[in-house]
Amino acid sequence: MKLQDLKHAGLRKWVTEVAELTKPEAIVICDGSEAHYRQLMDEMIASGLATPLNPDKKPGCVNFLSDVSDVARVENRTYISSAKQEDAGPTNNWIDPVGLKKTLNGLYDGSMKGRTMYVIPFSMGPIGSNIAKIGVEITDSAYVVTNMMIMTRVGTKVLDVLGNDGYYVPCLHSVGKPLAEGESDHGKWPCAPIEKKYIAHFPETREIWSYGSGYGGNALLGKKCLALRIASVIARDEGWLAEHMLILKISNPEGVVKYVTAAFPSACGKTNLAMLVPTIPGWKVETIGDDIAWMKFGKDGRLYAINPEAGFFGVAPGTSKDSNPNALIAASKNTIFTNVGLTEDKDIWWEGIGYDAPGKLTDWTGNEWVQNKADKSQKPAAHPNARFTAPAAQCPSIAPEWEDPNGVPVDAILFGGRRPHTIPLVHQARDWNHGVFLGSIVGSEITAAALDLKVGTVRRDPFAMLPFCGYHMGEYFKHWIKIGTRTTVDKLPKIFYVNWFRKTDDGKWLWPGYGENSRVLKWVFEACAGTAKSVDTPIGIMPTIDAIDRPEGVSEADMAELLKVDREGWLKEVEDVRANHYPKFGEHLPKELSHMLDVLESNLKDCCGGKCCC
Ligand code: GTP
Ligand code: SPV
Ligand code: MN
């Protein structure tokens, strides 16, 4: 398809203007066909950017090795460029849009020289459904095109829905590495240095301009940029929620179904929970989505969730037959791997895959690597944020209704993060506003999913949306409070706070996690059904000590520790939220939340005066 064949005059004009600025060698409109996918993959294999994997072991799969500066999202180069700085709020980087566009126009000038410019029409959500949002990404990266073809719905069908004048979110992307006459990438991942990377969002005009990075959330612009940062602004205006949440379906042995969404920060277990294989007999978990949920009210006054994506961009390390067999099967064919280790016979390997590295590997930096388990400081073969891009339809646990444009009715919302201490295995909010409070104070140890942060330190990551909220976080809290007033209490999802990541003093996991998390989901299910054994505590509603069956290896004392109200730890939380977290939001902090903080503090202080269970 040629540029002239684009029926949509506005789109044709935008593509023409971008081409004039970026000066590509050719323009290709992506039709979304398998033939185009194959052609692009063959080109990238021929140029040495992609390594084809062993067709007997991983048919249709490739591995890419990225640049060291391009292995994860870069939060300090990500901008919410609203007209007023106040509207971006205290948690986002802000640059005045006029200045930023000037800088970026300078960088985009000639940035696609020697490269093909691809135009990707894509739909977040099933094509043509009334909840879907259309975007068009212009990019000079074939890696981005092929990943977008897995992660979203791409092609001429989207252009048909767009018609002559339909609305789309323009998403501009360049890797920022123009090629001189006759120059090629020579198998080297193209990108710009960190200080030239910009992941820019213009919330008022609903535009995304990304420059200099080819990786994941920085470059696949339908995902974090559109479906979260821009969509959160649209959701605020239209009265719904765009969230960093998995969506799962859980059925009890009698076949009763509940739907659960869960917001955990990056690399904190969403994909794993979404694909969980229960260890308790008769229970079943199926997957609707693993990263993003759009939740809107249905006519019946309940919140319905849809997964706007079509694939999984999942963390590879730690994924094994034991921890997440469904992800391994989903990624066993037609999958793009990025930054994993490769065996001599061109199979994948990564830390935590469940078996030792078979012989010599090529690590993610392209060097020979031989496992040395005695050397605790050995660098990993796979980058800790190595990823697989796999079609959702290939996942054995995918629920039949995963593409239902009406979404699924949400019974429970979980918040969580990596907290080695203080936060119990599970507790339940007393009501919606208490749940919003719990979401607002979520903290988590930083993971390798962001390049520029210190791994392991705890930071507040409200609603797991710290890097993904497109406007003032205090206003976002208010939006959540408001959502709770839009329906009757009985129709609202129940809210829970979970923590799979408690550690003992000698650094061991106190809870085995993964499939064993089904025991906690069962209690959540029962709490929604009104049959859970629970007790009121200063921090909220908690399971009684015998309410959750203990998995092997968890003693009664461990369980008591996991379900304890750590009064001193919580008082420190209160102090930190009061001194360091909430003050950031100033006048934008909803009074309901400061009230909840006061209630929590007085509950904790009074707890020996009656209510206490600790
Ligand atoms: P993003 O794609 O970055 O949003 O990550 P995610 O939230 O989907 O996290 P994912 O499920 O990919 O898990 C990230 C890492 O946490 C992997 O290395 C997992 O093995 C590990 N993990 C997931 N669930 C558990 C758990 O229950 N317990 C423990 N200890 N580790 C877990
Ligand atoms: C995350 O970091 O939360 C991810 C990976 O899901 S990325 O698409 O790179 O944002
Ligand atoms: Mn994510």
pLDDT (0 to 100) of residue 613: 53
In a domain? residue 62: no
pLDDT (0 to 100) of residue 129: 84
287 lies in the same domain as 160: no
Pick from 336-340, 349-353, 451-455, 476-480: least confident: 451-455
pLDDT (0 to 100) of residue 612: 56
pLDDT (0 to 100) of residue 1: 82
Nearby residues of 473 by Cβ (< 8 Å), 6 or more positions away: 89, 90, 91, 92, 462, 465, 466, 584, 585, 588
In a domain? residue 59: no
Q: What is the pLDDT of residues 160-210, one digit of tens each?
A: 999 999 999 999 999 999 999 999 998 999 999 999 999 999 999 999 999
Instruction: Report the pLDDT averaged over residues 501-514.
Output: 95
Q: Rounded to two decimals, what is the model's pTM?
A: 0.97
- In testing the pocket of ligand 1, which one of 215, 271, 385, 425 has its CB within 8 Å of the most ligand atoms? 271
Atom index in ligand 1 nearest the CA of residue 514 equals 27
> Which of 394, 410, 425 marks a domain boundary?
394
- Among protein residues, the one whose CA lies closest to atom 4 of ligand 2: 266
pLDDT band at 457 (very low <50, low <70, confident <90, very high): confident
346 lies in the same domain as 441: no
The number of distinct structural domains making up the chain is: 3
pLDDT (0 to 100) of residue 453: 79
Q: What is the pLDDT of residues 536-590, one digit of tens each?
A: 999 999 999 999 999 999 999 999 999 999 999 999 999 999 999 999 999 999 9
For residue 510, report the distance from its CA to the centre of ligand 2, in Å: 27
119 lies in the same domain as 255: no
What CATH number is given to the structural domain containing 8?
3.40.449.10
In a domain? residue 262: yes
- Among protein residues, the one whose CA lies closest to atom 15 of ligand 1: 267
In a domain? residue 50: no
**What's the CA angle centered on 263, arms 341 and 588, to 5 degrees?**
125
In a domain? residue 65: no
Q: How many CB atoms lie within 10 A of CB 354?
A: 13
User: What share of the chain has pLDDT > 90, as a percent?
Assistant: 94
- In testing the pocket of ligand 1, which one of 268, 275, 451 has its CB within 8 Å of the most ligand atoms? 268
Pick from 112-126, 432-446, 453-467: least confident: 453-467
- Please name which of 502, 500, 492 lies closest in space to residue 416, comparing C-alpha atoms: 500
Structural domain including 325 reads: 311-394
User: What share of the chain has pLDDT > 70, as a percent?
Assistant: 99
Q: Could you tell me the two tokens for 415? A: 């918040």
363 lies in the same domain as 261: no
**Alpha helices, H only, 109-244:** 142-151, 156-162, 216-219, 231-238
395 as an active site residue: the answer is: no
Residue 608 has pLDDT above 70, yes or no: no
SS3 389: strand
- With b for 16 or more beta-carbon neighbours within 10 A and e for fewer, the 171-207 pattern comes to bbbbbbbbeeeeeebeeebbbbebebbbbbbbbeebb
pLDDT band at 454 (very low <50, low <70, confident <90, very high): confident
Cα separation values, 422 from 425, 433, 434, 497, 574, Å:
10, 22, 18, 12, 12
> Which of 206, 238, 270 marks a domain boundary?
238
pLDDT band at 105 (very low <50, low <70, confident <90, very high): very high
> Which of 238, 263, 288 marks a domain boundary?
238
Atom index in ligand 2 nearest the CA of residue 220 equals 8
In a domain? residue 269: yes
In a domain? residue 528: yes
In a domain? residue 49: no
291 lies in the same domain as 383: no
302 lies in the same domain as 317: no
What CATH number is given to the structural domain containing 556?
3.90.228.20
378 lies in the same domain as 423: no
Q: Could you tell me the two tokens for 122? A: 């894509």
Let me know: does 481 contact 468? Beta carbons within 8 Å: no
528 lies in the same domain as 554: yes
- With b for 16 or more beta-carbon neighbours within 10 A and e for fewer, the 229-245 pattern comes to bbbbbbbbeeebbbbbb
145 lies in the same domain as 209: yes
297 lies in the same domain as 434: yes
146 lies in the same domain as 286: no
Let me know: does 293 contact 346? Beta carbons within 8 Å: no
- Ligand 2 proximity of 291 Cβ (cutoff 6 Å): yes
381 lies in the same domain as 420: no
Catalytic residue among 268, 395, 469, 528: 268
For residue 319, report the distance from its CA to the centre of ligand 1, in Å: 8
Q: How many CB atoms lie within 10 A of CB 594?
A: 15
Residue 146 has pLDDT above 80, yes or no: yes
